[in-house]
Structure formats: structure tokens, C-alpha cells
Amino acid sequence: MQQSGATRGCGCALFPLLGVLFFQGVSVVLSLEIKVDANVRGYVGEKVKLRCTFKSTSSVTDKLTIDWTYRPPSSSRTESYPTTAGTFRDRISWVGDVYKGDASISISSLTTKDNGTFSCAVKNPPDVHHNIPVTELTVTERGFGTMLSSVTLLSILVFIPSAVVVVLLLVRMGRRSAGLTKRSKSGYKKSSIEVSDDTDQEEEGDCMARLCVRCAECLDSDYEETY
């Protein structure tokens, strides 16, 4: 079967058109990129930040929209933010800056019912096609070991150096005490100054003794001459 010239011409013209659409489609898909933290841990009663950043080939305008969606575990029910009702009423705050490519939010007063999947969607016309990443939030009770983390750090920075100084002082005092005990057992050896002082005292004592003897002799001689 032979094709007509018009059919062949239409087919040839169709391939370049598909190629242009294909490349245009790829550029549109890659025009907006979003990144989030895959897993985030929070603690009951505290606040947690859900990070979401985006890159767009177009400048940010007032047409930009950001939608956060929450889905509980094992459920198809979803909630969107901003919202004035639902699980996160008055607990979600905006902490991002769209002009810096930041679409992050924070959730306060966490409960275990907040566990689930969060997705961040950004549209910045004409950039509207992008990946939709998700964040798994896990909320748990803060354990005793976690609460002690700051106390442990403080101990490392303050108390441990102080304890080391005290131990060194005790070791030094112990060595000094042991040296005195050993010296008392082995006999105390006098220094040269102490020896000279003792010698001088002995010489003075001898002189005094000799002087007393001579005085006695003088007295005896005088007594004999008198009689």
C-alpha cells in the first residue's frame, strides 16, 4: 500500500513538533525544585520545625502559593495549611521567607496525634510543575536520658575540670603526708643551719660551764687566803 504525499508530509512535520513539545515539557518539569527533611523527630509539648526550600526559574511574585498537607498514619484523610480548623488549629506558624526560597513552618504544643506525613507544594507561575516531597513526623515523649543531655554537657564543661583540680590537690597532699611520715620513721636529718645553731648553743653551754668552774675556783682561793 502506498502512502499519499500529503500523509507523508504530515508525518514528517509531526516529529519535529513532538520533539519541541518534549523538550519544552522537560524544561517545565525541571523549572521548580523542592527539598524537605525526609524524617523529623519532635517531642510532646514542644515545638518542631518542618523545613521546606524551593528553587524556581522565575522571580517570586504575588501569584506564588504554598500548600502544606497533612495525612495521619494509615489514613487517607488530609488537612491543608493555612487552616483555621482541624488538628493543627492555632498551632502552626509560618517561619519561612519566600524571597529566600524558604517555605518552612513550625508546629507547637506537639502531641502523639501529630504523627504522620506532611507534604509541601509550591507554585510560582509560570513554574507550577515540580516534585512533591514528603516529611515523616514522629512525636514521642522526651526520655529521661534526653532531658539529661544538657545537664551532662554542663557537667562536662564545668564540674569535671573542677573535680580534676580537687583530685590533683588531694594527691599532692597525700604525697606530702607520706613524705613526712617516712622522714619521721627514718630519722630527721638536720639542715646545715640547724646543725650550726645547735653547735653554737653547745659551745655557749661549755663556756658557761667553764666560767662557773673558774668562778668556783676563785671563790675557794679567796676563802683560803682569808683564813
How far is it, in rounded angstroms, from Cα 112 to Cα 110?
A: 7
State the pLDDT at residue 6.
41
Please work out, in degrees rounded to the nearest 5, the angle formed at the alpha carbon of residue 75 by the alpha carbons of 44 and 51. Answer: 50
Q: Minimal CA–CA distance to 106: which of 68, 73, 146, 64?
A: 68
Which residue numbers in the chain have pLDDT < 70? 1-30, 83-84, 144-155, 159, 179-227
Q: Minimal CA–CA distance to 52: which of 79, 84, 81, 29?
A: 81
Length reported for the chain: 227
Convert the pLDDT of each residue in 190-223 to its tens digit. Answer: 555 544 555 555 555 555 556 555 555 554 555 4
Convert the pLDDT of each residue in 113-127 to its tens digit. Answer: 999 999 999 999 998
Which residues pair with residue 69 across a beta bridge?
80, 119
Residue 41 C-alpha cell reads as 523527630
Is the full-model pTM beyond 0.75? no
Residue 158 C-alpha cell reads as 564545668
State the pLDDT at residue 23.
40
How far is it, in rounded angstroms, from Cα 169 to Cα 166?
A: 5
